[in-house]
Amino acid sequence: MRKLFFLGLLGVATAAQAQDSVTGMCTDWGYSVETCACAVELLHTQIGDPAYKDYEAIGQIYRRNGQDGMAMVEAWDAAIAQTGADLSTTNTIGQYFSDAIAACE
């Protein structure tokens, strides 16, 4: 019984680690897991795989920067600078994401 409980906890930890940064940003902002899952699916469908992967990579750096104590705007700007992404493009994707979250609430 204990072994099964431990394996269950391990599965929960693994699932949390597997969460992508776009979903993580959404839940960090206080939205439910269900809302975020819906919004991420909508966003991914709207922008496609290559753009989603780029946005997810930026999100990883952004979240790490936030965990290191940077304010939101500073953390985002630093992630953009580090990846060389186009700010206008990421802002457009961010608006799509906000719209998707609103649609899923």
Supply the DSSP string of 43-81, one letter for each residue.
Answer: HHHHHHHHHHHHHHHHHHHHHHHHHTT--HHHHHHHHHH
Residues 6-15 have pLDDT tens digits of 334 344 434 4
Confidence of residue 18 (pLDDT cuts 50, 70, 90): low
* Residue 19, pLDDT score: 75
Residues 6+ apart with CB under 8 A from 94: none
Q: Per the structure block, which two tokens stand in for 84?
A: 């060389």
* Residue 2, pLDDT score: 43
**How many residues are given for the chain?**
105
The model scores a pTM over 0.85: no
Residues 75-97 have pLDDT tens digits of 999 999 999 999 999 999 999 99
| Nearest-angstrom CA–CA distance, 65 and 60 | 9
